[in-house]
Amino acid sequence: MRHSYAPYSRFRVGAALLTEDGEIVTGCNVENASYGLSNCAERTAVFKAVSEGRKKFKAIAVVSSKTNPAYPCGACRQVLREFNPRLRVVVAGLKGRPEVTTVDRLLPRSFGPEELRARGRG
């Protein structure tokens, strides 16, 4: 979270992605004056992990600079779902207890890679 680039919203977010082999890959949100080009901490961590050859994930922790936990946005939920619909998601703010859920709870009835593979069959 401390490496976050959030000059517009001042909403700093950090993520730590746990890979199946026990490595931790971090990410932070990066804003842009053209708001649509901003990137969330969760996607930064996933893209960084994939660029380093890691594609199997067990959990992600997301912490924000606000009091309450900030859950992943819809785009982040879909990106996380691509790699593991049962991924454990831990969210925390600056106060209170962390909350734990899974991607499939955050994004029920989702669309994933298996949908594309099934189209070519039968």
Just list the catalytic residues: 42
In the DSSP assignment, the letter for residue 8 is T
Contact present, 44 and 28 (Cβ < 8 Å): yes
Continuous H helices in 1-122: 41-51, 74-83, 103-106, 113-119
∠ CA 51-53-57, nearest 5°, is 100
Cβ–Cβ < 8 Å for 89, 102 = yes
- The pair phi, psi for residue 45, each rounded to 5°, is -65, -45
Report yes or no: 1 and 13 within 8 Å, Cβ to Cβ.
yes
